[in-house]
């Protein structure tokens, strides 16, 4: 019988490593976090397919290879402190939490924030802190962060996020018109000097819109 563990190992090999993700810490974390526990029970059998899935409130858990690409682009070290905007199911936050020291994740929909926090508790994840709020303001109480990952799209990076990064810090975010049929450009911005950014385009993606200020 094929188990969730088998499906997850195959997902990492065929959808993630096969697409060029090489960072061993990302591959290990994707192998370890049980994605089927972060989707509605009725979707558990689809959890290791190459797809985003609905999680309620008209939101989705992102496609596994996109989660991996975003985390790899953020270049997280073991001592990193990370901000995620758009907790959704809590899955990406759990993956980040396996690699980094501390994660703060902000979700604007109260029910999703509560459910994600509960799920992370059940999974024994202790270094991920879920906050209910508008992530376009970041989470200044715990700033600065080594990396900020935004799991929703907008035409530009919210200003507040830029001021919550350490020098050399990275923002990984889908940039572009959220309604564009062509999707958005997954982009990494590295703060290389006061108000000076190095920009790298990672690929084309399609994300739900960032809603807020
Ligand atoms: N990272 C999530 C996961 O692993 O399940 C998937 C995130 S889903 C693609 C995008 C999430 O961003 C949604 O849950 C949505 O409610 C949230 N969102 C949109 N605008 C937001 C904002 N201003 N602040 C915080 N969360 C926001």
Residue 196 φ/ψ, nearest 5 degrees? -120, 125
pLDDT at 28: 98
Cα of 170 vs centre of ligand 1, distance in Å, is: 19
| Ligand 1 nearest atom to the CA of residue 135, by list position | 24
Q: Which domains does the chain carry?
A: 64-205 (3.40.50.150)
Residue 206 φ/ψ, nearest 5 degrees? -130, 110
Across 61-72, average pLDDT = 98
DSSP for 119-156?
Answer: HHHHTT--SEEEEES-GGG--GGG--EEEEEE-SBBSS
Q: What is the pLDDT of residues 202-212, one digit of tens each?
A: 999 999 999 99
Nearest CA to ligand 1 atom 27: 86
pLDDT at 178: 85
Q: What is the pLDDT of residues 126-145, one digit of tens each?
A: 999 999 999 999 999 999 99
ipTM above 0.85, yes or no: yes
Distances (CA, A) of 173 to 4, 57, 112, 189, 206: 30, 22, 20, 8, 11
Helix and strand counts by DSSP (H, E) for the chain: 6, 9
CA distance 172 to 72: 10
Strands (E), 16-75: 53-56, 59-61
Residues flanking ligand 1, CB < 6 Å: 59-62, 85-86, 88-89, 91-92, 106-109, 112, 134-136, 151-152, 207-208, 210-212
105 included as an active-site residue? no
pLDDT at 25: 98
CA distance 203 to 188: 10
pLDDT at 213: 77
Q: What is the pLDDT of residues 162-194, one digit of tens each?
A: 999 999 999 999 999 988 888 999 999 999 998
Q: What is the pLDDT of residues 67-109, one digit of tens each?
A: 999 999 999 999 999 999 999 999 999 999 999 999 999 999 9
């Amino acid at each position: 019988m094929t188990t969730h563990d088998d499906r997850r190992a195959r997902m990492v090999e065929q959808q993630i490593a096969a697409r060029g993700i090489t960072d061993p810490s990302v591959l290990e974390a994707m192998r370890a976090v049980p994605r089927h526990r972060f989707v509605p029970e009725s979707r558990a059998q689809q959890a290791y397919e190459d797809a985003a899935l609905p999680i309620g409130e008209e939101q989705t858990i992102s496609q596994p290879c996109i989660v991996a690409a975003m985390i790899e682009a953020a270049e997280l070290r073991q001592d990193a402190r990370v901000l995620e905007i758009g907790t959704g199911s809590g899955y990406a936050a759990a993956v980040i939490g396996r690699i980094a020291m501390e994660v703060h994740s902000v979700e604007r929909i109260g029910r999703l924030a509560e459910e994600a926090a509960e799920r992370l508790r059940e999974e024994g994840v202790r270094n991920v802190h879920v906050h209910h709020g508008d992530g376009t303001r970041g989470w200044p109480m715990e700033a600065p962060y080594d990396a900020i990952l935004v799991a929703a799209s907008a035409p530009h990076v919210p200003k507040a996020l830029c001021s919550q990064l350490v020098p050399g810090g990275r923002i990984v975010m889908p940039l572009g018109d959220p309604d564009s049929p062509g999707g958005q450009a997954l982009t990494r911005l590295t703060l290389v000097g006061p108000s000076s950014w190095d920009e790298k385009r990672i690929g084309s993606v399609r994300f739900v819109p960032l809603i807020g200020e």
